[in-house]
Amino acid sequence: MAIDLKTVAEMATAGIAFVANIRIPGGGETVAVPSNSVAEYVADPQGFAAKLFGVTKEQYLLWVEMDGMPQCGATTKNGSRCKNGVSGGSQRSIEEWLRLESDYCAVHGGEGSNSR
Ligand SMILES: [Zn+2]
């Protein structure tokens, strides 16, 4: 659907604000969509959300998909990635999730283990 930018601009001038519900781990979050970003939002809501968080769309989608749970980056004996949850639980903020993603689970020397 093409956005009628003139209508959007007139609505904004009349004091109508635009909000959207974007997906985050654990549910949704209501965010303001500036009138000059309405078309951008409609074209790519996930891309808009990623930009809002200052991350790539891939990072944003993975964060939501993983429910904010960072995954262990250790390589297991059979050569695949461990992917156990990093100690501390899910639904982390995206900053924290990015910082801890590929850290280690308790089995692989992360927080909660005795080996470091
Ligand atoms: Zn692990």
- Residue-wise pLDDT for 7-25, tens only, equals 999 999 999 999 999 999 9
Mean pLDDT of all residues belonging to the chain: 94
Distance 102 CA to ligand 1 centre (A): 9
Give the largest Cα separation in the chain, rounded.
63
Digit-coded pLDDT (tens) for 38-76:
999 999 999 999 999 999 999 999 999 999 999 999 999
pLDDT at 116: 45
CA 86 – ligand 1 centroid, Å: 8
Q: How far is the CA of 84 from the centre of ligand 1 (A)?
A: 5
pLDDT at 113: 74
Q: What are phi and psi of 84, to 5 degrees?
A: -65, 155
What is the whole-number distance in angstroms between the Cα of residue 115 and the centre of ligand 1? 13
Q: Where are the domains of the chain?
A: 5-65, 68-116
- Classify the C-alpha dihedral 71-73-79-85 as positive or negative: negative
pLDDT greater than 70 at residue 1? no
| Residue of 78, 79, 76, 80 lying closest to 107 (CA atoms) | 76
- Give the integer Cα–Cα distance in Å for 94 and 105: 18
CA distance between the termini of the chain: 55
